[in-house]
Chain A
Amino acid sequence: EDQVTQSPEALRLQEGESSSLNCSYTVSGLRGLFWYRQDPGKGPEFLFTLYSAGEEKEKERLKATLTKKESFLHITAPKPEDSATYLCAVATNAGKSTFGDGTTLTVKP
């Protein structure tokens, strides 16, 4: 059975304090790993897709990396507007997708 585990469940940072979110996965035949951002009362918003170990993607203060067992979402010098729940999802070659339960990030000014 495909499994996605995100840690920590919640993370509180001061503005400018860099950190990383973890997504570990067990899946048969990984086609891609996705990161989404979800604000309260809204649907998830796509951030990145990673396809193979060693791949990295960057967008503003966010950088996503991928290994054979986990992915990290690095947040550099976060701002209060980065506060949200960050979701990780894996898609398999069979076309199935599984989400983790997310990490809720709070950035204090």
Chain B
Amino acid sequence: EAGVAQSPRYKIIEKRQSVAFWCNPISGHATLYWYQQILGQGPKLLIQFQNNGVVDDSQLPKDRFSAERLKGVDSTLKIQPAKLEDSAVYLCASSSLHTEAFFGQGTRLTVV
């Protein structure tokens, strides 16, 4: 079974630039999550999709972050404009309804 695919693995950008991350979940998983993980901390949920719809985006900084899930499958997370404090690993995960999540390798973002 193929796992959760994310790209790119690494990204370095200057502050105020924009960046986008892509995620392809495990086939058949209706729930997709984007997490932000700062070094030394646990993953923080940014947004959770159930099929096409948003279940929870209460911790998404909506003035600069946006996410979409096309046709209930792939998803993209965008940051525009980036700030220094956005430097983190961005993790995508997927799950069947109410079960454990499977994570991708993550994208390490460095904002300079």
**Are A and B associated in one complex?**
yes
B42 x A102 contact (CB < 8 A): yes
Q: Report the separation of the CA atoms of residues A95 and B31 in the bound assembly, to the nearest whole angstrom.
A: 10
Residues of B9-49 whose CB lies within 8 A of A: 33, 35, 40-45, 48
Most buried by A among B33, B48, B101: B101
- A95 closest partner in B (C-beta): B55
Q: Is the CB of A43 within 8 A of B91?
A: yes
B56 near A95: Cβ-Cβ < 8 Å:
yes
Q: Are A45 and B103 in contact (CB under 8 A)?
A: yes
Q: Is there a chain B Cβ closer than 8 Å to A42's Cβ?
A: yes
Would B104 and A43 count as touching, CB distance under 8 A?
yes
Q: Mark A73-109, 1 if CB is under 8 A from B, else 0.
A: 0000000000000010101000111111110000000
A32 to B35, CA, bound (A): 19
Inter-chain contact A46/B100, CB cutoff 8 Å: yes
What band does the interface of chain B fall in when counting residues whose beta carbon is under 8 Å from A? 20 to 34
Query: Chain A binding site: helix, strand, loop or mixed by DSSP?
Result: strand
Chain B window 41-66, contacts with chain A (Cβ cutoff 8 Å), 1 for yes, 0 for no = 11111001010000110000000000
State A100–B42 Cα separation when bound (angstroms): 5
Given contacts A43-B104, A46-B102, are A98 and B91 in contact (CB under 8 A)?
no
Q: Is A8 an interface residue (CB 8 A)?
A: no
Do A101 and B100 have beta carbons less than 8 Å apart?
no
Closest chain-B Cβ to A53's Cβ sits at a distance in Å of 19
Distance in angstroms from B33 CB to nearest chain A CB is: 8
- Across the interface, A43 reaches (CB within 8 A) one of B40, B48, B99, B105, namely B105
**Shortest Cβ gap from B100 to chain A (Å):** 4
Residues of A within 8 A of B (CB): 4, 6, 31-32, 34, 36, 41-46, 49, 87, 89, 91, 95-102
Cross-chain pairs A/B with CB under 8 angstroms, 25 sampled: A4-B42, A31-B98, A34-B100, A34-B101, A41-B105, A42-B105, A43-B93, A43-B104, A44-B43, A44-B91, A44-B103, A45-B103, A46-B100, A46-B101, A46-B102, A49-B99, A95-B48, A95-B56, A96-B48, A97-B45, A97-B48, A97-B101, A98-B45, A99-B44, A102-B42
